[in-house]
Structure 1
Amino acid sequence: MTALQSFVQAGARRALVLLPGAQMHPPHIVQAGLPAALAASGVPLDLHLPDLHLDPTASRDAVHELLEQVLAPLRPRYAALWLGGISLGGLLALRCAQRAPDGLRGLCLLAPYPGSRLTTNAIERAGGPQAWQATPAQAQDVEFQLWQDARAGRPDLPAFIGWGQGDRFAASMAALAACLPRAHAAQAPHGHDWNAWLPLWRDFLAWLPKGER
């Protein structure tokens, strides 16, 4: 099993697996104050931070490895398992939920990477996600597949999606959130950084459905 840095509360029956972003490790999330904010919130939720660095756009099947190495060992322990991620980790979390939603209760996506400029510009030039039609080459690309599935309403799960107002991909994140049928979109000041992500994390904890607490 992949190494996890875990913050476990007595009696918690819910858990969130939060995937770090690119060039990010669990200690960065701890130093940013996310576990401390969780403890201060009083929300009974276990937090698991895997040191699993998978690029969902690479040739390896990152979703399969996430399912087998991280999620499968945790599922028997909880009544509800949430999946989340920051930046590139958010892309992987969303792609995993699109391909294998069974066993997941919801998503927490903090500034989820919506794809490269080549991807987002192609969709924008077409008139947005609903007007865009994938070429044969795009249909084989992970980033475009994410948008295809999102446009089709997948995953049909509660999803908190938050981003900084100054994030360079803010418009694409808003378009992505608009595609998902059960998304809750939130914004915070600042950009693609912890100044935005920590307040958004607190917003997620306040939004987390009471039935999931």
Structure 2
Amino acid sequence: MTSLRTVGTAGSAPHLMVMLPGVAMQPEAIFEAGFARAIEQRGLPLDLLCVDIGGVGLDAMDRWDALQNEIIDPARSRAAQVWLGGISLGGLLAMAHVAARPGVVAGLCLLAPYAGSRPSTNVIERAGGPDRWRPSAEDLQDPELRVWQWLQRPPADLLVFIGHGREDRFAGRIQQVAERFPPASRHTVGGGHDWSAWLPLWERFLDAGHIA
């Protein structure tokens, strides 16, 4: 039995979404917001499992082996297509996990992903942006900057859905992350940094045809 606190199921469906909540957000909140209900309404062959990220510090986010060993690997061993999703801070955690483990998931579903703290992103801005930044060894001691190193050239074969609300108070910084992915991956809806945007984005992801 998994030692991670999870809500939902990783059953026998051919697709599994592992969703990481935002900071101080309990995994139950994702179900209360209607994410599972939206799957059921569409009759999609998708299991939803939400993982408690409490206690996972940013300095350990790309070394979170329990997520891989206890959830993702068992699902892959039964040939499920695994997606890793995240809301706000959970989106940054999802990117960090995949950056450290290429090829472990079929895709990312990033809802208003946190772009990193100001000290980290200022390093990139001072360099003239992600394409001009050349990370130093010191830079790469910062787990957030390791994510940005990965964002310089995300894998071309990784399916990505990324979106945010147009009124999100972090919209500008989220857009900087979104621009690292192909235009077809990027989505915006009305709403802020809350369920008013996150649920419609989730519904758009479900309707996008990724889950056949």
SS of corresponding position for 1:179: coil
2:16 partner letter: A
Q: CA 1:125/1:190 → structure 2, altered by over 3 Å: closer, same or farther?
A: farther
Q: Distance in 1 between matches of 2:139 and 2:170?
A: 20
Match of 1:108 in 2: 109
Contact 1:119 1:143 in 2 (8 A): yes
1:202 partner letter: E
Contact 2:162 2:187 in 1 (8 A): yes
Q: How do 1:181-192 residues align onto structure 2 when only pairs under 5 Å count?
A: 184-192=185-193
Structure 1 length as normaliser, TM-score? 0.87
Structure 2's unaligned 5+ residue stretches are none
Alpha-carbon distance, 1:185 to partner: 0.6
Q: How do 1:19-98 residues align onto structure 2 when only pairs under 5 Å count?
A: 19-55=20-56, 57-59=58-60, 62-98=63-99
SS of corresponding position for 2:16: strand
Contact 1:165 1:190 in 2 (8 A): yes
SS of corresponding position for 2:185: strand
SS of corresponding position for 1:145: helix
SS of corresponding position for 1:107: strand
Q: Distance in 1 between matches of 2:68 and 2:44?
A: 25
SS of corresponding position for 2:179: helix
Q: Distance in 1 between matches of 2:10 and 2:140?
A: 40
2:138 partner letter: A
2:117 partner letter: S
2:47 partner letter: D
Q: Distance in 2 between matches of 1:159 and 1:165?
A: 19
Contact 2:13 2:80 in 1 (8 A): no
1:169 partner letter: F
Correspondence 1:4 to 2:17: no
Structure 1's unaligned 5+ residue stretches are none
Match of 1:205 in 2: 206
Q: CA 1:169/1:92 → structure 2, altered by over 3 Å: closer, same or farther?
A: same
Contact 2:62 2:97 in 1 (8 A): no
Structure 2 length as normaliser, TM-score? 0.87
Q: Distance in 1 between matches of 2:82 and 2:76?
A: 7
- List per-residue Cα deviations over 1:113-169 (Å, max 9, x = no partner): 110122223323432211223344222111111111110224740100011112232
Paired residues in the alignment total 210
SS of corresponding position for 1:12: coil
SS of corresponding position for 1:124: helix
More deviation, 104-113/177-186:
177-186
Indicate the RMSD between aligned Cα atoms, in angstroms: 2.3
Identity value in percent: 41
Q: Distance in 1 between matches of 2:61 and 2:87?
A: 20
Q: Distance in 2 between matches of 1:118 and 1:47?
A: 34
Contact 1:190 1:196 in 2 (8 A): yes
